[in-house]
Amino acid sequence: MFRPTALVSLTALASAVYAQQVGTQKAEVHPTLSWQTCTSSGCTTTAGSVALDANWRWLHTTTGYTNCYTGNAFDTSLCPDGVTCANNCALDGADYSGTYGITTSGSALTLKFKTGTNIGSRVYLMANDSKYQMFKLKNKEFTFDVELSSLGCGLNGALYFSEMLEDGGLSKYPTNRAGAKYGTGYCDAQCPHDIKFISGEANVDGWTGTSTNTGKGKYGSCCDEMDVWEANSISSAYTPHPCTSTGPFRCEGTGCDVCDQPGCDFNSYRMGDKTYYGPGSTFKIDTTKKITVVTQFKTADGTDTGTLSEIRRLYVQNGVVFQNSKVNIPGMSSNYDSITEQFCTDQKAAFSDTNIFAAKGGMKGMGDAMSNGMVLVMSVWDDYTANMLWLDSNYPTDRPASQPGTARGTCATTSGVPADVESQQANASVTFSNIKFGTIGSTYSGSTASSSTTSRASSSSSSSSSRTTTTTANTTSQTQWGQCGGVRNFLISP
């Protein structure tokens, strides 16, 4: 997936960026978010919360209000090197709703795309005040509801898992005193270089501005990534990205070639079904309505320790369960409707793409990361790298749209320009709700859609109230990949 840089302008004394110390100007209070764990006997509610990624926060001196980073540059007097910068600079609490447009209610999380001058956001599900909730996905099922009708071309409401450290690196790196409570330790399969602090040190070595408000340093931050949901109202995809490294890995130079950046994706439109997902009653999955998204991580032997063999997608709308769309691509079996090792091999051949997925570990490598535990990430963002064309338009743009794998959605190749998206879709938002995790078949219910179904979905099934503790269970040549949720830089208001 592409993961661009982002821009926000905070008022008064704030300039936001990654930090490793803890400030005292504003108390950090995590918005609550309940979710459920399920078995064949029923579902039990967990009282969780979310933490804002450190990149969106105010970074200032530990002794006052002076910004440690402004525009696209570190203050070299405070940050002459990575360790000194980590010691001199503090990360503060966040005004979730007022500054960032992040609100929760029971089991629902809403992320507004634009709030004032803030653009986008990224949050993590917390187990407690100082640790991320860890998920071991093999032989399990993950389900959530999503409402994204206002996300048009160029926007992405993403939900995914990254192999981050449970405490955000707090115990591993002495210079990181903020930890998961303040959203530190981000990594993904793109090995992003525009993260300001990696492994407890500022990424100041070789830092250069890439635009007025963005920059990149010498180091990148790599880890396995499972994209459960990258979507707007036009297109959606789910994509595993394995890495040959284990856990968060600070890379440099050619050492950053450790992850499958393109991934092995399943986008129904790209895979040949152009009427499966989209806005309105002509589509099987109608994005003008709430959608229940079910993802199953199946193993070869049906155990939690077995080899990951299949990642299967289901949808529920209006009480009806829809199987994933079938593949309609020359050279690929029409029986394919999920991600397997063979699906990925055949897809890469049909699309004339190099099979980096297999080279970086394939399904087994992705499954190994799942066994280690992964952090749930939710975000909304626009794309400064490729205008989100890789999700919802023709991409790469130097390939003919008729070439298999190029067409990914109906958006124009001129769409998705961040300046246009930010002015025309300022009121857009995504809501994730009713998160459930458990044994396969335990997190959703509904009748099965027949192949002759003509009616279209109008609303999603929903889980029980978050206040209820138990419910009844039912059985190329172009730069292509960037960082999900946007690694964002920030400006101080004059």
Please say if 422 is a catalytic residue: no
Please say if 230 is a catalytic residue: yes
**Could you give the CA distance from residue 197 to residue 150 in angstroms, rounded to a whole number?**
33
| Residue tagged active-site, from 28, 230, 341, 422 | 230
| Residue tagged active-site, from 166, 225, 310, 422 | 225
Residue in this structure with the two tokens 């309505």, named with its chain if needed: 289
For 258, the token pair is 């450790």
Question: For residue 305, with 0-12 CB atoms within 10 Å meaning exposed, 13-18 middle and 19 or more buried, which class applies?
Answer: exposed
Q: How far is CA 37 from CA 41, 42, 470, in A?
A: 11, 8, 10
Give yes or no for a contact between 311 and 343, defined as CB atoms under 8 angstroms apart.
no
Q: What are the catalytic residues?
A: 225, 230
